[in-house]
Amino acid sequence: MISVADKPQTFYELMRAQGTSRRSFLKFCSLTAAALGLEPVYADKIAHAMETKPRLPVLWLHGLECTCCSESFIRSGNPLSSDVILKMISLDYDDTLMTAAGHDAEAILDEIPNKYPGEYILAVEGNPPLNEDGMYCIIGGKPFVERLKSVAANAKAVIAWGACASWGCVQAAKPNPTQAVPIDKVITDKPIIKVPGCPPIAEVMTGVISYILTFDRLPELDSRGRPAMFYGQRIHDKCYRRPHFDAGEFVQSWDDEGARKGYCLYKMGCKGPTTYNACSTVRWNGGVSFPIQSGHGCIGCSEDNFWDNGPFYSRLANIGAGFGVEATADTVGGTAAAAALAGVAAHAGASAIKHFTRKPGEGDKQ
């Protein structure tokens, strides 16, 4: 797609070569700073970084996935994904987006790690299946897991795009026949930034790349390896319907008055209270809306095991899915408590019979 020059251009050189004016360049820097939630002075720092730093080589691999991460990424409004791909990074390999194909394209995966050891970013969309020696995902004639390991070996850092690479997602849901695993089970010696979601928000994806580029370091990660600035809070914490939650005003069914008036979707199974993501603040499609705003509960797509924590339309998760028994905690607990009550009643009856029919002189003499 993009030839690998001996001395990589800076972003600014490339942008000027493509006809971008200085004014447009500075506007782009300001917008990027605003998108990252930085102070206005950081626009200068971004501009300085882009004028002086060589473009960051990025290799984007695809394993078991549905390409929804790429679909989301190319819709980023701010910064525009075209700006990220064409101006900020040097996207040297992405089999979905690049025009090159065949052996020449695959050769890039050997070339970049040798040419820029420790300097390139590996972005991974999807995950490797380990069962049958990785035969459930063959790309370019090799199991994906082998390619993933070899390209990761020299990487500066690894970005795990989406729920697949971060947690496993649908292919790792029970019973996980291909033994699909998140990439941190395979890559253990590199810093991994998890950007979960199915897909992640476009602006979160481009924001993570912009951050790495601008500050030449990885963003602060939380205890689960996600960028804290985007995954630090639950959707629930910033949901515009939160006042209805606190008031106890819940939608009871999809066509009731509460649904029409935009009440809280908690009882309809909204997973906002258990989901760490930026949907309620950044929103989707350039800030147009997000699921809850559209009247549907969050399905928790950026959470680990979200396929196994269903159903989507009930507050309490089913448990025991592995046994073919699906019941909520209340059904299981309530049944056990009812059994305990029945046991107590039976025991009490037996005790009463025993107590009042005992022979004089036997047992406790009072």
Give the residues lining the site for other proteins (CB under 8 A): 223-224, 234, 236-237, 243-250, 252, 256-258, 261, 263, 266-267, 271, 273-276, 300, 303-306, 309, 315-317, 319, 329-330, 332-334, 336-337, 340-341, 344, 347-348, 350-351, 354-355, 358, 362-366
- The smaller minimum CB distance to other proteins, of residues 191 and 287, is found at 191
- The smaller minimum CB distance to other proteins, of residues 212 and 239, is found at 239
- The smaller minimum CB distance to other proteins, of residues 202 and 239, is found at 239
Given a contact cutoff of 8 angstroms between Cβ atoms, the answer to whether 11 and 86 are in contact is no
Rounded to a whole number of angstroms, the minimum distance from the CB of residue 352 to other proteins is: 9
Rounded to a whole number of angstroms, the minimum distance from the CB of residue 235 to other proteins is: 11
DSSP assignment string, 317-362: PEE-GGGT--EEHHHHHHHHHHHHHHHHHHHHHHHHHHHHHPPTTS
C-alpha closest to that of 161 among 132, 198, 131, 189? 198
As a whole number of angstroms, the distance between CA 204 and CA 208 comes to: 6
C-alpha closest to that of 231 among 201, 191, 270? 201
Using only C-alpha atoms, the chain has a radius of gyration, in whole angstroms, of 27
As a whole number of angstroms, the distance between CA 170 and CA 53 comes to: 39
- The smaller minimum CB distance to other proteins, of residues 63 and 272, is found at 272
Rounded to a whole number of angstroms, the minimum distance from the CB of residue 153 to other proteins is: 27
Rounded to a whole number of angstroms, the minimum distance from the CB of residue 140 to other proteins is: 33
Rounded to a whole number of angstroms, the minimum distance from the CB of residue 343 to other proteins is: 8
- The smaller minimum CB distance to other proteins, of residues 206 and 277, is found at 277
- The smaller minimum CB distance to other proteins, of residues 146 and 222, is found at 222
As a whole number of angstroms, the distance between CA 180 and CA 166 comes to: 11
Rounded to a whole number of angstroms, the minimum distance from the CB of residue 197 to other proteins is: 14
Given a contact cutoff of 8 angstroms between Cβ atoms, the answer to whether 166 and 124 are in contact is no
Given a contact cutoff of 8 angstroms between Cβ atoms, the answer to whether 120 and 152 are in contact is no
Rounded to a whole number of angstroms, the minimum distance from the CB of residue 346 to other proteins is: 11
Q: Is the peptide bond before 311 cis (omega within 30 degrees of 0)?
A: yes
- The smaller minimum CB distance to other proteins, of residues 62 and 315, is found at 315
C-alpha closest to that of 108 among 65, 160, 151? 151
CA end-to-end distance (rounded Å), the chain: 96
Q: Which residues, other chains included, contact 323 with Cβ-Cβ below 8 Å and sequence gap of 6+?
A: none
Rounded to a whole number of angstroms, the minimum distance from the CB of residue 82 to other proteins is: 35
- The smaller minimum CB distance to other proteins, of residues 132 and 256, is found at 256
C-alpha closest to that of 192 among 171, 219, 172, 211? 219
